[in-house]
Chain A
Amino acid sequence: MLSGWFVALLSAAYLALLFAVARFGDARADNGRSIISANVYALSLAVYCTSWTFFGSVGRATSGGLSFLTIYIGPTLMLLCVGTIVKMIRISKTYRITSIADFIASRYGKSQMLAGLVTVIAVIGVVPYIALQLKAVAASLDVLFEQSGHAEIFWGLDSTFLIAVILALFTILFGTRHLDATERHEGMVAAIAFESVVKLVAFMAVGLFVTYGMFGGLGDLFQRATASPELGRLLQMDETRAGTWTTLILLSGLAIILLPRQFQIIVVENVDESHLKRAVWLFPLYLLLINIFVLPLAIGGLVFFDGQGVNPDTFVLTLPLARGAEALALLAFIGGLSAATGMVIVETIALSTMVCNDLAMPLLLRSRWLQLAKRQDLSGLLIGIRRAAIALILLLGYIYFRAAGEAYALVGIGLISFSAVAQFAPVLFGGMYWKQGTRAGAAAGLMAGFIVWLYTLLLPSFAKSGWIGNGFVEQGLFGVEWLKAQALFGLSGMDEISHCLWWSMFANIGSYIVVSLNSTPDAVEASQAERFVDIMRHGRRDADARLWRGKTSLGAVVELLERFLGVARARQQLQAYAETRGHADWRELPADAEFVHFAEVELAGAIGSASARVMVASVVQEEDLGLEEVLDILDEATQVRAYSRELEFKQRELEAATAELREANERLRELDRMKDDFISTVTHELRTPLTSIRALSEMLHEDPRTELTDRKRFLGIIVNEAERLTRLINQILDMAKLESGRAEWTTGEVDIGEVARESMDSLGQLFREKGVALDGDIPAHGPLVLADRDRLTQVMINLLSNAVKFVSGDGGRVSVKVAAEAGRVRVVVADNGPGLTAEECAVIFEKFRQGGNTMTDKPQGTGLGLPISRQIVEYFGGNLWAESRPGEGASFIFTVPLPAPEA
């Protein structure tokens, strides 16, 4: 049995030690010798491990086995996103962000409304969490004194209330000693890091004592666990809870950044971005160490207190006590106390800053009272407000604790808070990476998510505590089935946390995106969006100063700073700023845009960016910049980038153009070569008949005594060759006309069957002379096509005369078939001649390609008939091709489209 006074004195001594550490840290900071190293920073992150970790993990492990680990896996994963966190730190430092509410408000146009909304959500979401810490400390005291019901131990006061009061005083002393322009509290961070060490040492001491002092080591414990089916369950991954695992990892990953105290420690209190690199591995290591003995303690407790109904949340204390190790129990109590105080201090400081800057200040700035007292130094007032806020928040926590009492397990409350702050994620991360996100969208997203959270998680937890009726959980709001708070729209089969996360994120992200896309940002929003998203690219001041235009006097701005920062602090900052601009005295500073920007940032550090903007606007005659103008200026700011992009683009264009030119040149060269070949071929074709004509006529001319038979023979050849020459020239001209598109066409309705019959008639004599059979399979009328009758006749005659040329006189047969098929007329001229190879089927349509390769059947054609025919058929939209195999005759087929039926 421990003496109450002893415990009280010990606690007081511990708090005094903490305070000493904090003073030391502050003193060093004031002397410019910061003690915040990377290690201290990483340890201070462990403020994440509250009494919920210290006592609650063991309790959670007794029911959920390994699933307690999810709460620590999430943060470990989140810290791997170093780039995102560094960006957040960079933004916060550049714009003197003081809290997560300030961050979100500043991004969406320094909106007081958003800042207030975030603050309200944070306070409502986090107060239960603070209550949880009070409950943990009270419960641990109960265990130490072996009693329950929070007895009135001192002067008739409830011990928990006393704890709340002490914590409030302590936090006020800690966090609001002076109003720092950077809102950093190095002393506090040092104390928190110290506390992290204390709670780790305490927890590991208990773990070692239980594992090796009470049991035979880890092996023994796990053997006992596997021996009992009930305990063995704790060591297994529960697959049915996979959904919950994901949810918890996600929630805790978000919480490590979004909980107000975490944002405070990770972002606001960060003194050097590089410290994050240490934290990335040191913090997970810390989490690993503090979790090593969770499962052994849980198993040990269950084995040791088998069936005695001891609350697992108190195993950390009850196990040492059961063995009479009072000193160790006291150490464990101090460990739990540090976990609780650390959390409460940082959380209430962060929340009080938000309440002061984002709720109280906007109200005060509007009130008449403040306007009347315009000349007063307001820095004292600010500190007063913060102190009141700290007291108020702890009071709220106490009230919640009294009301909720024993209703809910520790872990439940923690997760409700995690789910509340998770609602900040879309607007926060969206704001850092998505310029289109607007204030209206952010407000809609936050509201939607918050309302769903309220309805599906907070109110049902109230109902469980019996404060309100649980009709909306059991039957749905107004008895509407699909409004059941924890099975919204019939989504059941999920645990309540996953259910809430799913629906709140759906509502949150959905509203944020939809409203953002359907709303137009104003000038301030647009410029803030640009600054936040492009923080890694923009120079700090240059871009900002140009986004402002207005008139003011140095005096007015200085007075404003003095009112909010206090005269001494304001002058100190002014002097430092003047020196960076090359002035010996701050009174020489010009009241220009850059100076006003400096003043606004300084003020933002004290009262938040939204309020700072309102205050600066009150002493400055601002000229409104239109959205267009702001965008123009931002455009200028990105001009260099644009230029280089343009250059790159130009270069790519040039490269593409070069490639195109090279290709065109290649094509031209190819065309040139083809033309050259063509001319050479034409020349050859023209010269060949001329050769015979010239040679024979020269001989006749020179030798008049040539015999009559020779003379007749020669003249016959000359006439034939002259005819051949004429034909050739005509066809070349025809071809040239067709190819250049200068041919004349007389297009009309043509009966293609009639054309076939007439062509067959006109060549009938030729066929009969050679003894070749010619038959036709042609409809009596039609089909009618739109074409040039003479040209079609030319094609028919060409195909028929080719055919008669190649079939033998003995048994030769040529048949013509005309038939209409799907949308076109098909004309086939088939012979039973020697046939063509597949290769020949293709090349015979080239100019001057003649069928037949031997002297004996050297055809008397020009080699232009088929190319001309193909040109003609294609002009009417049809095709001409040959189908054949050697020895099996050849078919020349052409099609002409039928005119579309009149619709």
Chain B
Amino acid sequence: MAHKILIVDDEPNIVISLEFLMKKEGFEVAVATDGEEALAKVAAFNPDLLLLDVMMPKKSGFEVCEALRADPTRSGLLIVMLTAKGRDTEVAKGLAIGADAYVTKPFSTKELVVKVKEMLGVA
């Protein structure tokens, strides 16, 4: 059974590219465009991995991550934070609140795919 990936980003073009990329790799993909929608989709779609943008309206990626990590039933959920802000403090913050990986935009599609597969153990 294919792994499920939820893509959360407010930039439509980034969503389009990530969705295409992940589907092509054979994952089952869902999309959310803000933090609140992301939490709702996690509950409904029950993904194995989250590609989570940091800068979003309504609820930031950090807030979504924190909320999910506070939920013990979701302890197995993998979270990859995506951010266009490259500052070290942001990376540190993301990892500190429980993200499993941190990827800065623009990213290499190849590397992202490798990383995602590695994390899901499908390499």
A-side interface residues toward B, CB under 8 Å?
A: 680, 683-685, 687-696, 698-699, 702-703, 710, 713-714, 717, 720-721, 853-855, 858
Q: Tell me if B91 is interfacial: C-beta within 8 Å of chain A.
A: no
Q: Tell me if B117 is interfacial: C-beta within 8 Å of chain A.
A: no
Q: Which residues does chain A contribute within 8 Å of B55, judged by CB atoms?
A: 684
Q: Can you identify 15 A-B contacts, CB atoms within 8 angstroms?
A: A680-B85, A685-B84, A687-B86, A690-B106, A691-B17, A692-B13, A693-B106, A694-B107, A694-B109, A698-B108, A698-B110, A699-B109, A713-B16, A714-B17, A714-B20
The answer on a CB contact under 8 Å between B17 and A699 is yes
The answer on a CB contact under 8 Å between A688 and B57 is no
Q: How far is the CA of A690 from the CA of B85 in the complex (A)?
A: 13
Contact of A695 among B18, B57, B84, B104 (CB under 8 A): B18
Q: Which residues does chain A contribute within 8 Å of B110, judged by CB atoms?
A: 698, 702
In the complex, how many angstroms separate the beta carbon of A725 from the nearest chain B beta carbon?
A: 11
Q: Which residues does chain B contribute within 8 Å of A696, judged by CB atoms?
A: 13, 16-17
Q: Which residues does chain B contribute within 8 Å of A714, judged by CB atoms?
A: 17, 20
The answer on a CB contact under 8 Å between B87 and A695 is no
Given A680-B87, A691-B84, A853-B57, 11 more pairs with CB closer than 8 A: A684-B83, A685-B84, A690-B106, A691-B105, A692-B11, A692-B16, A695-B17, A696-B17, A703-B24, A714-B20, A855-B12
Contact mask for chain B residues 16-28; partner A; CB cutoff 8 A; 1 contact, 0 none: 1110110010000
The answer on a CB contact under 8 Å between B84 and A688 is yes
Q: Which residues does chain B contribute within 8 Å of A688, judged by CB atoms?
A: 11, 14, 84, 105
Q: Which residues does chain B contribute within 8 Å of A680, judged by CB atoms?
A: 85, 87
Contact of A853 among B13, B58, B106, B108 (CB under 8 A): B58
B-side interface residues toward A, CB under 8 Å?
A: 10-14, 16-18, 20-21, 24, 33-34, 55, 57-58, 83-87, 104-110
The answer on a CB contact under 8 Å between B13 and A721 is yes
The answer on a CB contact under 8 Å between A691 and B14 is yes
Q: How far is the CA of A780 from the CA of B10 in the complex (A)?
A: 46
In the complex, how many angstroms separate the beta carbon of A524 from the nearest chain B beta carbon?
A: 78
Given A703-B24, A710-B20 in contact, is the A855-B105 Cβ separation under 8 Å?
no
Q: How far is the CA of A702 from the CA of B24 in the complex (A)?
A: 12
Q: How far is the CA of A680 from the CA of B55 in the complex (A)?
A: 12
The answer on a CB contact under 8 Å between A691 and B21 is no
The answer on a CB contact under 8 Å between A695 and B34 is no
In the complex, how many angstroms separate the beta carbon of A511 from the nearest chain B beta carbon?
A: 79
* Nearest chain B residue, comparing its CB with the CB of A858: B10
Which 4 residue pairs of A and B lie closest in terms of their CB atoms, listed nearest first?
A687-B84, A692-B13, A695-B17, A855-B33
Contact of A854 among B14, B18, B34, B83 (CB under 8 A): B34
Q: Which residues does chain A contribute within 8 Å of B11, judged by CB atoms?
A: 688, 691-692
Q: Which residues does chain A contribute within 8 Å of B21, judged by CB atoms?
A: 695, 699
Most chain A CB within a 10 A radius of its CB, from B17, B55, B58, B86: B17
Given A853-B58, A854-B34 in contact, is the A687-B105 Cβ separation under 8 Å?
yes
The answer on a CB contact under 8 Å between B106 and A691 is yes
Q: Which residues does chain B contribute within 8 Å of A692, judged by CB atoms?
A: 11, 13-14, 16-17
The answer on a CB contact under 8 Å between B24 and A695 is no
Most chain B CB within a 10 A radius of its CB, from A680, A685, A702, A703: A680
In the complex, how many angstroms separate the beta carbon of B61 from the nearest chain A beta carbon?
A: 13
In the complex, how many angstroms separate the beta carbon of B17 from the nearest chain A beta carbon?
A: 4
In the complex, how many angstroms separate the beta carbon of A808 from the nearest chain B beta carbon?
A: 20
In the complex, how many angstroms separate the beta carbon of A52 from the nearest chain B beta carbon?
A: 95
In the complex, how many angstroms separate the beta carbon of A706 from the nearest chain B beta carbon?
A: 9
In the complex, how many angstroms separate the beta carbon of B32 from the nearest chain A beta carbon?
A: 9
Q: How far is the CA of A855 from the CA of B34 in the complex (A)?
A: 7
Q: How far is the CA of A855 from the CA of B105 in the complex (A)?
A: 19
The answer on a CB contact under 8 Å between B10 and A695 is no
In the complex, how many angstroms separate the beta carbon of B36 from the nearest chain A beta carbon?
A: 11
Q: Which residues does chain B contribute within 8 Å of A720, judged by CB atoms?
A: 13
* Nearest chain B residue, comparing its CB with the CB of A717: B13
In the complex, how many angstroms separate the beta carbon of A817 from the nearest chain B beta carbon?
A: 33
Q: Which residues does chain B contribute within 8 Å of A693, judged by CB atoms?
A: 106
Contact of B107 among A683, A695, A717 (CB under 8 A): A695
In the complex, how many angstroms separate the beta carbon of A717 from the nearest chain B beta carbon?
A: 5
Q: How far is the CA of A689 from the CA of B12 in the complex (A)?
A: 10
The answer on a CB contact under 8 Å between B85 and A683 is yes
Q: Which residues does chain B contribute within 8 Å of A685, judged by CB atoms?
A: 84
In the complex, how many angstroms separate the beta carbon of A701 from the nearest chain B beta carbon?
A: 10
Q: How far is the CA of A691 from the CA of B33 in the complex (A)?
A: 16
Q: Which residues does chain B contribute within 8 Å of A703, judged by CB atoms?
A: 24
Q: How far is the CA of A680 from the CA of B11 in the complex (A)?
A: 18
In the complex, how many angstroms separate the beta carbon of B40 from the nearest chain A beta carbon?
A: 14
Q: How far is the CA of A720 from the CA of B17 in the complex (A)?
A: 14
The answer on a CB contact under 8 Å between B109 and A684 is no
Contact of B109 among A687, A698, A717 (CB under 8 A): A698
* Nearest chain B residue, comparing its CB with the CB of A698: B109
Q: How far is the CA of A703 from the CA of B17 in the complex (A)?
A: 14
Q: How far is the CA of A693 from the CA of B108 in the complex (A)?
A: 11
Given A683-B84, A693-B106, A695-B106 in contact, is the A717-B16 Cβ separation under 8 Å?
yes
In the complex, how many angstroms separate the beta carbon of B24 from the nearest chain A beta carbon?
A: 7
In the complex, how many angstroms separate the beta carbon of A899 from the nearest chain B beta carbon?
A: 45
In the complex, how many angstroms separate the beta carbon of A652 from the nearest chain B beta carbon?
A: 42
Q: Which residues does chain B contribute within 8 Å of A698, judged by CB atoms?
A: 108-110
* Nearest chain B residue, comparing its CB with the CB of A692: B13
* Nearest chain B residue, comparing its CB with the CB of A854: B57
Contact of A699 among B20, B83, B84, B107 (CB under 8 A): B20
Q: Which residues does chain A contribute within 8 Å of B12, judged by CB atoms?
A: 855, 858
* Nearest chain B residue, comparing its CB with the CB of A679: B87
Q: Which residues does chain A contribute within 8 Å of B107, judged by CB atoms?
A: 691, 694-695
In the complex, how many angstroms separate the beta carbon of B59 from the nearest chain A beta carbon?
A: 12
Q: Which residues does chain A contribute within 8 Å of B20, judged by CB atoms?
A: 699, 710, 714
Q: Which residues does chain B contribute within 8 Å of A684, judged by CB atoms?
A: 55, 83-85
Q: How far is the CA of A685 from the CA of B86 in the complex (A)?
A: 12
* Nearest chain B residue, comparing its CB with the CB of A696: B17
Q: Which residues does chain A contribute within 8 Å of B108, judged by CB atoms?
A: 694, 698
Q: How far is the CA of A854 from the CA of B37 in the complex (A)?
A: 11
Q: How far is the CA of A688 from the CA of B106 in the complex (A)?
A: 7
In the complex, how many angstroms separate the beta carbon of A859 from the nearest chain B beta carbon?
A: 12
Contact of B106 among A694, A713, A717, A858 (CB under 8 A): A694
Contact of B10 among A683, A710, A713, A855 (CB under 8 A): A855
Q: How far is the CA of A688 from the CA of B11 in the complex (A)?
A: 8
Q: Which residues does chain A contribute within 8 Å of B57, judged by CB atoms?
A: 853-855
Q: Which residues does chain B contribute within 8 Å of A689, judged by CB atoms?
A: 13
Q: How far is the CA of A690 from the CA of B84 in the complex (A)?
A: 10
* Nearest chain A residue, comparing its CB with the CB of B82: A691
* Nearest chain A residue, comparing its CB with the CB of B109: A698
* Nearest chain B residue, comparing its CB with the CB of A689: B13
In the complex, how many angstroms separate the beta carbon of A395 from the nearest chain B beta carbon?
A: 107
Q: How far is the CA of A690 from the CA of B105 in the complex (A)?
A: 8
Q: How far is the CA of A691 from the CA of B20 in the complex (A)?
A: 14
In the complex, how many angstroms separate the beta carbon of B103 from the nearest chain A beta carbon?
A: 10
* Nearest chain B residue, comparing its CB with the CB of A721: B13
In the complex, how many angstroms separate the beta carbon of A39 from the nearest chain B beta carbon?
A: 86
* Nearest chain A residue, comparing its CB with the CB of B18: A695
Q: How far is the CA of A699 from the CA of B33 in the complex (A)?
A: 22
Q: How far is the CA of A687 from the CA of B83 in the complex (A)?
A: 9
* Nearest chain B residue, comparing its CB with the CB of A710: B20
* Nearest chain B residue, comparing its CB with the CB of A720: B13
Q: How far is the CA of A685 from the CA of B106 in the complex (A)?
A: 11
